């Protein structure tokens, strides 16, 4: 009886970035016949268990490194791997790659912070003028394989049952970067347009830190049908809700990548970041940008304009986003 070769994926964070390697991991598993474990941060453990190709999830104790190191090493070194694939490409992920018991340690062409000293080989060359999903596919080519023409994201989230009249419209109004955030007042206007036009139900999604923002948006809807789910779901449950949605309006955020992986239509509002690299992957989505600023994308957490006004988002009107979304809205009528 043959034994499947064993692989370890190292991808620690962040929520949205965890989806980028999935097509590459799927193709490696299918074409090489791998059994796959995954190292991630504890807050993403339950999310990674929803990735259909993963057999075991190992938690990296980022916040309690000293206390948790012994248990982590015991779990990490429990298995001898044929391959370790570091999809993160940072010093700490490279260090994990080296600590694992493995025959081949492979890192990405986009590595930095000296991570390459931990690898036996590097997959591909640095080319930042492409999507992060396509970057990850370098690992497939490095194994002598041909990447599939239609990448897939094998995920399985628990079923949930939203309430309220359809269509079900999700909004993710916040991200961790101020320069990615569209004004809450704009989301209010957009929400009123969407609900008046479709007669559907609006679901505000995000973490607990986004709950007040979402509540203010709902107050501005004038009693329309809306529910604030921010901080009320686990990450797998959030995936379950997104799987039921008809469309997602979002800034550059983790839920955006989750929805794209599920094949849901996404209207993505971009400011400081570059949708060519980190936008929703696939052809079912609409990207909306200011388009008139030479500083965009600045890729900065803090606006670099003298007045720190984040014009790329503040001057992007609700009408512009609404008009761009008509390709989806028309189908709801």
Answer yes or no: do 223 and 304 share one domain: yes
Answer yes or no: do 120 and 173 share one domain: no
Count of all residues that appear for the chain in the document: 333
| pLDDT value of position 128 | 87
Helix (H, G, I), strand (E, B) or coil at 109: coil
Q: Express each pLDDT in 158-197 by its tens digit.
A: 999 999 999 999 999 999 899 999 999 999 999 999 999 9
Token code pair at residue 218: 């709902």
Q: Is the pLDDT of residue 215 over 80?
A: yes
| pLDDT value of position 1 | 52
Helix (H, G, I), strand (E, B) or coil at 110: coil
| pLDDT value of position 172 | 98
Answer yes or no: do 317 and 277 share one domain: yes
- For residues 317, 267, 300, 277, the Cα torsion angle rounded to the nearest 10 degrees is -140
Name the pLDDT band for 66 (thresholds 50, 70, 90). confident
| pLDDT value of position 41 | 97
Answer yes or no: do 46 and 106 share one domain: yes
Q: Is the pLDDT of residue 242 over 70?
A: yes
Please enumerate in sequence order all residues whose Cβ is within 8 A of that of 225, keeping only pairs 6 or more positions apart, or say none. 164, 165, 195, 200, 201, 202
| pLDDT value of position 331 | 86
Name the pLDDT band for 59 (thresholds 50, 70, 90). very high
Answer yes or no: do 228 and 112 share one domain: no
Please enumerate in sequence order all residues whose Cβ is within 8 A of that of 134, keeping only pairs 6 or more positions apart, or say none. none
Cα separation, 38 vs 118, in Å, equals: 18
Residue 177 sits in a domain whose CATH number is 3.40.50.2000
| pLDDT value of position 62 | 85
Token code pair at residue 186: 């704009």
pLDDT, average across residues 213-228 = 92
Q: Given strand 266-269, what is the order of strands in its sheet?
A: 226-228, 201-204, 168-172, 247-251, 266-269, 285-288
Answer yes or no: do 183 and 138 share one domain: no
Can you list the pairs that 181-184 forms with residues at least 24 positions away whose Cβ atoms lie under 8 Å? 181/251, 181/271, 181/310, 181/313, 182/251, 182/269, 182/271, 182/313, 182/316, 183/313, 183/314, 184/213, 184/216, 184/217, 184/220
| pLDDT value of position 183 | 96
Of 15-24, 57-66, 149-158, minimum mean pLDDT range: 57-66
158: in domain:
no
220: in domain:
yes
Q: Is the pLDDT of residue 74 over 70?
A: yes
Number of domains in the chain: 2
Helices (H) and strands (E) in the chain, counts: 14, 12
| pLDDT value of position 332 | 80
Q: Express each pLDDT in 119-138 by its tens digit.
A: 999 999 999 889 999 999 99
Answer yes or no: do 136 and 226 share one domain: no
- Please identify, among 126, 142, 158, the residue that sits at the C-terminal boundary of a domain: 142
Answer yes or no: do 128 and 212 share one domain: no
153: in domain:
no
44: in domain:
yes
- Please identify, among 107, 127, 142, the residue that sits at the C-terminal boundary of a domain: 142
Answer yes or no: do 136 and 280 share one domain: no
| pLDDT value of position 145 | 95
Of 1-5, 45-49, 50-54, 287-291, minimum mean pLDDT range: 1-5
160: in domain:
no
Cα separation, 58 vs 70, in Å, equals: 13
Q: Is the pLDDT of residue 112 over 70?
A: yes
pLDDT, average across residues 273-296 = 93
Answer yes or no: do 115 and 252 share one domain: no
150: in domain:
no
Structural domain of 204: 168-332
Percent residues over pLDDT 70 in the chain: 99
- Please identify, among 91, 107, 142, the residue that sits at the C-terminal boundary of a domain: 142
161: in domain:
no
pLDDT, average across residues 274-298 = 93
214: in domain:
yes
Q: Is the pLDDT of residue 316 over 80?
A: yes
Cα separation, 194 vs 201, in Å, equals: 9
| pLDDT value of position 291 | 84
Answer yes or no: do 134 and 34 share one domain: yes
Beta strand 266-269 pairing with 285-288: parallel
pLDDT, average across residues 285-297 = 92
Q: Is the pLDDT of residue 155 over 80?
A: yes
Answer yes or no: do 225 and 327 share one domain: yes
Question: What is the average pLDDT value for the chain, to the nearest integer?
Answer: 95
| pLDDT value of position 222 | 83
């Amino acid at each position: 009886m043959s034994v499947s070769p064993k692989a370890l994926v190292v991808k620690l964070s962040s929520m949205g970035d965890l989806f980028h390697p999935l097509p590459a991991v799927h193709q490696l598993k299918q074409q090489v016949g791998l059994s796959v474990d995954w190292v991630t941060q504890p807050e993403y453990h339950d999310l990674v268990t929803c990735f259909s190709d993963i057999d075991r999830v190992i938690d990296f104790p980022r916040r309690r490194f000293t206390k948790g190191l012994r248990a982590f090493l015991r779990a990490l070194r429990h298995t001898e791997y044929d391959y370790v694939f570091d999809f993160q490409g940072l010093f700490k992920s490279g260090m994990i790659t080296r600590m694992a018991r493995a025959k081949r340690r492979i890192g990405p062409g986009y590595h930095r912070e000296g991570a390459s000293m931990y690898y036996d080989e590097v997959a591909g060359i640095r080319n930042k003028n492409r999507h992060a999903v396509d970057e990850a596919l370098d690992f497939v080519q490095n194994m002598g394989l041909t990447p599939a023409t239609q990448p897939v994201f094998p995920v399985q989230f628990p079923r949930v049952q939203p309430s309220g009249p359809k269509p079900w419209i999700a909004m993710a109004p916040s991200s961790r970067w101020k320069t990615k955030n569209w004004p809450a007042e704009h989301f209010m206007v957009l929400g009123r347009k969407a609900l008046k036009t479709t007669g559907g139900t609006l679901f505000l999604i995000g973490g607990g830190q986004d709950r007040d923002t979402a509540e203010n948006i709902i107050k501005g809807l004038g009693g329309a049908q809306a529910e604030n789910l921010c901080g009320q779901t686990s990450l797998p449950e959030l995936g379950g809700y997104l799987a039921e949605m008809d469309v997602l309006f979002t800034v550059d955020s983790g839920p955006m990548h989750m929805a794209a992986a599920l094949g849901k239509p996404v209207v993505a509002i971009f400011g400081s970041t570059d949708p060519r690299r980190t936008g929703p992957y696939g052809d079912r989505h609409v990207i909306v940008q200011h388009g008139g600023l030479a500083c965009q994308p600045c890729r900065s957490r803090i606006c670099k304009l003298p007045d720190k006004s984040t014009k790329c988002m503040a001057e992007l009107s609700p009408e512009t986003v609404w008009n761009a979304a008509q390709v989806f809205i028309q189908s709801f009528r």
